[in-house]
Amino acid sequence: MVQQGVQFGKVAVLMGGLSAEREVSLMSGQGVLAALRARGVDAHAFDPASQPMDALKSEGFQRCFIALHGRYGEDGTVQGALELLGIPYTGSGVMASAMAIDKVMTKRVWLAEGLPTPRYALLHRGEGSPERLRGVVDDLGLPLIVKPVREGSSLGVTKVVDHAGMTQAVASAAELDADVLCEQFVAGDEVTVPVLGSGRQARALPVIHIVAPEGQYDYQNKYFTDVTEYRVPCDLPPGEEAAIQTLVLQAYRVLGCRGWGRADVMIDAATRRPSLLEINTSPGMTSHSLVPMAARAVGMSYEDLCLELLAGASLDYPSDGRSSA
């Protein structure tokens, strides 16, 4: 059990920020802030959208809990600023954060390591000619998934069921990112697996089976409705949960993630083979969020989870020269 909060000094909970996920980040941050304060931590809200990052140093903050989501929060930029300031922070470091936010770079690393992920095509802005889009559909088949390369919370994600839907799907994704990922659709069970810890000590929490209405696990159903069903303990066949947890730990480690994260996986209904979709290095901490849900399933309260994450705050390049891994 992590001790009460006096050992942490003055803590900034980074929330809000500049990304398209600002609203969700504020909800996550307020939850974390209340939890840390309830456990005696001298915690304060800090919004990088309205306060300069160097204020963290001048105001005497000794640790940061990153509750930012999306760009400028979990893409390595804030992590790099905190490295320069010398203030330990929760979650993955600069390189792992930058890779994990980029769904295509993540796929390239996983594929290089022999880990399964759906086939894909990458479109850059301006490459959406009718001929190019037809070629993508012919290669990946229908239905397929179109999404921005560097967004989260299902923003800009479209399931394309016919040729006519491709143009609008790509245009919608391109509004959020210059790069668009077109991904083979895997029909089957959608699950997610949170991970806590770093290196060989990292451990997978229980698998959560997500059952959304008509399979639409979108932004609205993630955060603002109660119609999505979350099955934890999950209802997978014997042995399947452990195999998926092992796969996710491999995926987490090869990217160099630390502290915590959550990987999304699709299980093919016909073959029961899992495919890695993406990994989130700064998962949500709202009332609907999945890491706290999985933690509760093993007897860990929201407050204890927040304390454990804060206790693991570290730097890529500590001033004492010791590795944070």
What are the chain's domains?
5-90 (3.40.50.20), 99-116+186-307 (3.30.470.20), 120-184 (3.30.1490.20)
The pTM (predicted TM-score) of the whole model is: 0.92
Q: In terms of Cα–Cα distance, which of 85, 102, 65, 111 is closest to 283?
A: 65
Residues with a known catalytic role = 21, 153, 223, 262, 264, 278, 280, 284
Amino acid 217: pLDDT = 45
Q: Please enumerate in sequence order all residues whose Cβ is within 8 A of that of 264, keeping only pairs 6 or more positions apart, or say none.
A: 190, 191, 192, 276, 277, 278, 279, 280
Strand order in the sheet with 10-14: 42-46, 10-14, 63-66
Tokens 């003055």 sit on residue: 10
Amino acid 125: pLDDT = 83
Tokens 């934890």 sit on residue: 232
pLDDT digits (tens, 9 = 90+) for 45-87: 999 999 999 999 999 999 999 999 998 999 999 999 999 999 9
The answer, yes or no, to whether residue 223 has pLDDT greater than 50, is no
Average pLDDT over residues 30-43: 97
Amino acid 199: pLDDT = 95
